[in-house]
Amino acid sequence: MRILYFDAFAGLSGDMSVGALLALGVDLDQLTGELAKIAVEGYRLRATPTSVHGIGATKFDVELDAPAGSAHSHRRYRDIRALFEASALSDGARRRALAIFARLAAAESVVHRMPIDDVAFHEVGAVDSIIDIAATAIGMDLLGIEHVYASPLPLGSGLVQTQHGVIPVPAPATVELLREFPVRAGDGSGEMITPTGAAILAGLAVPGEPLPPLRIEAVGYGAGTRRQVDRPNLLRLLLGRVAPAVHTDEVVEIAATIDDANPELYAHALEAVFAAGARDAWLVAAQMKKQRPGVVLHALADATARAAVAAVILRETTAIGIRFHPVERIVLPRRQIAVETPYGSVQVKLAEAPDGTRNIAPEYEDCRRLAQRRGVALKLVYQAAIAAALRDSD
């Protein structure tokens, strides 16, 4: 699963989001072409490489042909919704943009105590804010983002001037949008999270969901407009895939040394050990006292199955003593799939290491059965099963 992590250590705004997506590899010309599918005019895009505290970043700006305070700056939610529904955007980009504006409209509805469809967006209804939200939705669609996570968010402090007058930081709509998101009150001076930035997270991320183990593929920095003295005014986006979680557990290893048993007994003894609840069992050749050759029978089992497995070993072999001790294991996540080969269907076990390395293990009995039925070498069936698993699991 491809995921995007908003590391908003310096806050978040719409232009910072788009700048970071461009830094991740979204093509500006492609983004411009997609934005042209929305019936909004009177703007130009500019992406400028910059450096903030020595960190390379992208500054994104929407340059307007008309003054920001023109009549077109005020749009009602129902009008913006119709604007995107009538656009030729991809389904994924349209869905994300509508989700962002829906969350913003719901928050404004609570703050101003009015029906959602009657909510009038002022700053966020302006062309530049609409483009910031649309460009973020398009950029995520182009990158194939499937899930969004966010760091704890600095709320800032102080007051800010809006078209409604002076209001506290964070803005009331921002507070509504960030319900259930982890936040740090009083962290930073001024407005750290804009309503547009909060709406992007509220529409796309799950509040409070912890970031899973991540295999980072790319990092992008989007630069903000203000200069902050205590931190670089940057949004960092991490693009990657979920790394398989390594599971650990504790089992008991049971062992018995045997030097006087008929070798014909061992196959039956191992089958009985598995039937008693062992997770694994194996034989190791050993040199015993008086230079006699022997074996050590090992078994792994849950602590609750220790007595049953030990009893089977004592019953089915000539062992007169058992050793056991707890052991810890690291276990890779695995899954079973059926693949089709030229010889027939084979069950294959797939496991993935944290670095992405995959282990592919065709089921022996399936391969042996097909090899016998088709009159081919067993290794050919194995090779065909592995090739099919590589194809089907990509």
CB 252 within 8 A of CB 325: yes
**Domain boundaries of the chain, sorted by first residue:** 2-242, 247-331, 334-392
CA neighbor of 198 nearest in space, from 394, 6, 2: 6
Q: What are phi and psi of 268, to 5 degrees?
A: -65, -40
State the Cα–Cα distance between residues 238 and 193, nearest whole angstrom: 19
What whole-number distance in Å separates Cα of residue 99 and Cα of residue 206? 13
User: What's the distance, Cα to Cα, between the start and end of the chain in Å?
Assistant: 12
DSSP state of 205: B
- Identical topology for domains 247-331 and 334-392: no
pLDDT of residue 72: 47
User: What pLDDT does residue 124 have?
Assistant: 53
The first and second tokens of residue 283, run together, are 């034989």
pLDDT at residue number 391: 87
Please report, for residues 63, 91, 209, 341, 382, the alpha-carbon distance to residue 87 in angstroms, rounded to integers and kept in the order given.
22, 10, 32, 45, 51
The model carries a pTM of 0.68
Q: What is the pLDDT of residue 374?
A: 94
Q: Does the 334-392 domain belong in CATH 3.10.20.300?
A: yes
Q: What is the mean pLDDT of each run of 10 residues along the chain (394 residues)?
A: 94 97 97 96 94 97 72 75 95 96 92 85 73 97 96 91 82 93 93 94 90 91 93 97 80 95 93 95 92 94 95 96 94 88 94 82 95 96 94 75
Query: Would you give the distance in Å from CA 374 to the centre of its chain?
Result: 43
Topology of the domain comprising 247-331: Alpha-Beta Plaits (3.30.70)
- Give the largest CA-CA distance in the chain: 101
- Per-residue model confidence (pLDDT) at position 335: 86
